[in-house]
Structure formats: C-alpha cells, structure tokens
Amino acid sequence: MTSPRANTLAVSTVIFALRPRGAGPSAHVLWVPLVRRTRDPFLNQWALPGGWLSAEEELEHAASRTLEETTGLAPKFLEQLFTFGDLDRTPGDRVVSIVYWALVQPTEADRAIVDDNVRWFAADALPQLAFDHNRIVAYALWRLRTKMEYSRIAQAFLGTSFTLAQLREVHEAVLLRPLDPANFRRSMESSGTLIDTGERVAGARHRPPRLYRYTSTEPTPPTDPTNRHEEFAHDDRIR
C-alpha cells in the first residue's frame, strides 16, 4: 500500500551566456550551465539548476539565488518562463516546477564555477537531460529568439558599453543568421534605445567604432505581472 501522492514545488532556471567558440560561422555561441544530479531519480544525469521552494522565499529570488549558486554570477535579465507540472514528469511525488530563464554576461575570466558537478554546455548540443529538461531548454531557446526580435534583451549579454558590431554579434549568434551591418545600425538607431557615449575603441586596424550605452528604461507593457524588471517586459508578445 502506497501513501497518497503529494505536490511538491520547485524552482529551476535556464541560464544563458554567450561565449566565444573556437571556430565556425559565427564567433559566439549560446552556453547553458547544468548541474549533475547527486541522487535518484536520474542520478548522475545533467539537469537544470534549481531547488525546492521554501514558503518564505519569493519565486524570483529563488531563481536568482540558484543562479548565483551555480554560476557565481548575477543575472542581467531574469524572467518567469513557464510552469511545468505534467503528472508523468517525475516518478513518485508530483513536482510542479516554476521555471525562470536568465541571461548573464560571462565576466571576469569566466568567474563561473566549474567543478565535477557543474558544467557549461553548448545550447544546441545538450546531452540527454534529467526529467523534461530538454524540452524546457528548447522552449527557453525559442523564447529567447522570439524576444530578441522585438525587445532589447541583447544588452544583457554585454557590459555597460559596447560597439554596434558587438551588439550585432549577439543578435547573429542568437538568431543564427547574419545581419546586414548597415541595416542593423539604422534599426538600432531608430529604436531610440541607444546612446552614443562619445568614446571610441582604438587599436584595431580599421576605423575605430563608437561605443554605445542603452537608455535605462523601456516602455513597459501596461501590466507587467511582476513590475520588477521594467527593463524587459514580460511577453509578449509571447508571439
């Protein structure tokens, strides 16, 4: 005789960073940190970072905390993605996972933790993950690509100032296609979200590019459910 099933609440986070890669068509690729499971089910398999939700912790806080614990980084973008609760996604108790997604910049010589139980993987070449985590990452990737087209989350992969070429590189790496430099420049300039810092980057053997910053606020949708990250409104058009 088995005891009745119970609901358990968990928070997980899909963390994206953009890192240079050896060679290939585009110079940067999306990477995702995963943690190795240290218990059953799916012992030793890779999974999204996350943990049980305590009754005293805000959802978003739980997401950014696990993010800090696995990458050592603070997110420049953090947003709720979806809540997964299919009955068959876990054996034993039913686990409802509130999943967030985050963008971080790979700073300070990849300050990111890398030990035997935490590793970064190329987002388009993941191994078989625990639970339904492959599906979750795939959905997060779709959301990232969709949102990149109408918002300015690209900045979250970069520092405070950047050249248009760097910003374009981010878009190209995420969208997986080349963008016309001339048209990209115009569309960014006309968006009104860029500020010319006046500075330039010398040193390369070509005309020194300008450095830009982002304006601090973006027109937020009337009712962002969280009202915490005005910089990047929640969906929308979850298109």
Partner DNA sequence: GCAAAAGTGTTTTATATACACCCATGC
Partner DNA sequence: GCATGGGTGTATATAAAACACTTTTGC
Q: Which is nearer to DNA, 122 or 204 (CB)?
A: 204
Asked whether 74 and 68 are in contact (CB, 8 A), the reply is yes
Q: Which is nearer to a second copy, 139 or 185 (CB)?
A: 139
Contact flag: residue 91 with a second copy (CB under 8 A): no
Contact flag: residue 4 with a second copy (CB under 8 A): yes
Q: Which is nearer to a second copy, 64 or 71 (CB)?
A: 64
**Which does residue 6 touch among a second copy, DNA, none (CB within 5 to 8 A, set by kind)?**
a second copy
Give SS3 for 92.
coil
Contact flag: residue 171 with DNA (CB under 7 A): no
Site size toward a second copy (CB under 8 A) is 47
> Among 10-18, 70-78, 86-94, 206-214, which window interacts with DNA (CB under 7 A)?
206-214
Rounded to 10 deg, the angle between the 164-175 and 181-191 helix axes is: 110
Length of the chain: 239
The CA-based dihedral angle spanning residues 98, 126, 65, 161, taken in that order and rounded to the nearest 10 degrees: -110
Q: Which is nearer to DNA, 52 or 150 (CB)?
A: 150
**Which does residue 236 touch among DNA, a second copy, none (CB within 5 to 8 A, set by kind)?**
a second copy
Q: Which is nearer to DNA, 45 or 161 (CB)?
A: 161
85, 184, 209, 229: residue in contact with a second copy (rule CB under 8 A)? 85
Under DSSP, the state recorded for 162 is B
Contact flag: residue 180 with DNA (CB under 7 A): yes
Contact flag: residue 36 with DNA (CB under 7 A): no
Q: Which is nearer to DNA, 24 or 203 (CB)?
A: 203
DSSP structure string for 208-228: PPEEEEE-S-----TT-SS-S
> Among 19-27, 51-59, 104-112, 200-208, which window interacts with a second copy (CB under 8 A)?
51-59
Q: Quote the CA–CA distance of 160 and 212 in Å, as a whole number.
A: 8
Tokens coding 170: 């981010």
125 burial class (0-12, 13-18, 19+ CB within 10 angstroms)?
Answer: exposed
Q: Quote the CA–CA distance of 70 and 94 in Å, as a whole number.
A: 25
- For residue 225, the Cα-to-chain-centroid distance in whole angstroms is 19
Tokens coding 220: 């937020």
Contact flag: residue 8 with DNA (CB under 7 A): no
Binding site residues, a second copy, CB under 8 A: 4-7, 9, 53-59, 80, 82-87, 93-94, 96, 98, 135-136, 138-139, 141-143, 146-147, 149-151, 221-225, 233-239
